[in-house]
Copies of this chain bind each other. A is one copy, B any other.
Amino acid sequence: MPVTIYDVAREAGVSMATVSRVVNGNPNVKPLTRKKVLAAIERLGYRPNAVARGLASKKTTTVGVIIPDISSLFFSELARGIEDIATMYKYNIILCNSDQRMEKELQLINTLLEKQVDGLLFLGAEIKEDHLQALTSTSVPTVLAATRDADNVLPSVSIDHFQAAYDATEALVSRGHKRIAMIAGPANDPLAGLMRYEGYKKALKDAGIELDEELIATGNYFYESGLSTTKAFLALKNPPTAIFAANDEMAIGAIHAIQDSGLNVPGDIEVIGHDNIRLVEMVRPRLTSVVQPMYDIGAVAMRLLTKYMNNENVEEHVVLLPHRIEYRESTKPEQA
């Protein structure tokens, strides 16, 4: 029923091949012919069928994006970066939520490959052997965003989580704190979970501060867990004087727990978060946070992927974006 390239060809009095050339901007078409074809297209309201094109050309101008949870402030910002660059390079995005469940992740990889995506963007936490297996056994280029496989087999774009956490802790140390608590992420999250914890430990060690197990809690990145873990900290006989949370939501939970107990931030306890999501500006006091450039990670990852899809040369397949600390009112000015 819909009008096809064949209809246009007949209407314009040329062959399908010529119509195809016109549609695809092939220069080898006489201007007059091009005009006739364009007129026919207009007259008939022809709309090229991208599926047929995909079959014939073996390109879909579509990339698959596997993301843990699009409703998270963190990932949705990343997704926006991905989509903007994708649009710039004329790609569309098939977006899938994985909830970090490995089984689902593997299944999604498969579905997306069935759909013949030209490339794959994988966001998640842990990259296991099965992931590597699935992602490397295809010729479809893949880039990891905001994560990294242990052996740097796959191209990836992220920040140096260890160093970022080190810097955050160090900032607290340099403010004279001895009892610095950490609300860490789950240990099965090697980067945002484990690496940040390692960075924290190293910073303490370098400062000659002994690790106190009581000051380490594990959260799940949600506000609620920041609230509850901090309540527990405050109940200690010797509570912390500073808290570093592995992400901002938990940090905000920490702030509220502190305030709810009648204490002051940063007066009594200083708090520093991680990621610098938009929320940090929407709390009082506003949250000091390690800037993780989510949008840029998405954008750079997508850009990197386009290079692989075009067989362009790539110098560095593991890119670490810079991080920094954005100081706000949840920490005191550094001592002179």
State whether B97 touches A80 (Cβ < 8 A). Answer: yes
Which chain A residues in 94-143 approach chain B with CB under 8 Å?
A: 94-97, 110-116
**Is A92 among interface residues, defined by CB-CB distance under 8 A?**
yes
State the number of copies, please. 2
State whether A50 touches B93 (Cβ < 8 A). Answer: no
**Is A174 among interface residues, defined by CB-CB distance under 8 A?**
no
**Is A15 among interface residues, defined by CB-CB distance under 8 A?**
no
A252 to chain B, nearest CB (A): 6
**Is A283 among interface residues, defined by CB-CB distance under 8 A?**
yes
State whether B47 touches A113 (Cβ < 8 A). Answer: yes
Number of A residues, CB within 8 Å of B: 49
State whether A114 touches B83 (Cβ < 8 A). Answer: no
State whether B84 touches A97 (Cβ < 8 A). Answer: yes
Q: How far is the CA of A97 from the CA of B94 in the complex (A)?
A: 12
Q: Quick one: which of B52, B84, B283 contacts A55, CB cutoff 8 A?
A: B52
Instruction: Tell me which residues across on chain B come within 8 A of A148, comparing CB atoms.
Output: none
Q: Quick one: which of B47, B60, B93 contacts A51, CB cutoff 8 A?
A: B60
Q: How far is the CA of A73 from the CA of B79 in the complex (A)?
A: 13
A31 to chain B, nearest CB (A): 25
**Is A29 among interface residues, defined by CB-CB distance under 8 A?**
no
Q: Quick one: which of B48, B62, B295 contacts A94, CB cutoff 8 A?
A: B62
**Is A20 among interface residues, defined by CB-CB distance under 8 A?**
no
Q: How far is the CA of A50 from the CA of B110 in the complex (A)?
A: 11
Q: Quick one: which of B76, B94, B252 contacts A282, CB cutoff 8 A?
A: B252
**Is A34 among interface residues, defined by CB-CB distance under 8 A?**
no
**Is A311 among interface residues, defined by CB-CB distance under 8 A?**
no
Instruction: Tell me which residues across on chain B come within 8 A of A115, comparing CB atoms.
Output: 50-51, 62, 92
A260-295 vs B, Cβ < 8 Å mask (1 yes, 0 no) = 100000000000000000110111100000000001
**Is A196 among interface residues, defined by CB-CB distance under 8 A?**
no
Of A48, A95, A223, A279, the most chain B CB neighbours within 10 A belong to A95
12 A-B pairs with C-beta separation under 8 A: A47-B113, A50-B114, A51-B54, A69-B80, A71-B80, A79-B95, A92-B94, A92-B111, A94-B94, A249-B282, A259-B284, A284-B284
Which 9 A-B residue pairs are closest in the complex by CB-CB distance?
A: A71-B80, A76-B76, A95-B95, A51-B54, A50-B115, A50-B114, A51-B116, A71-B76, A71-B77
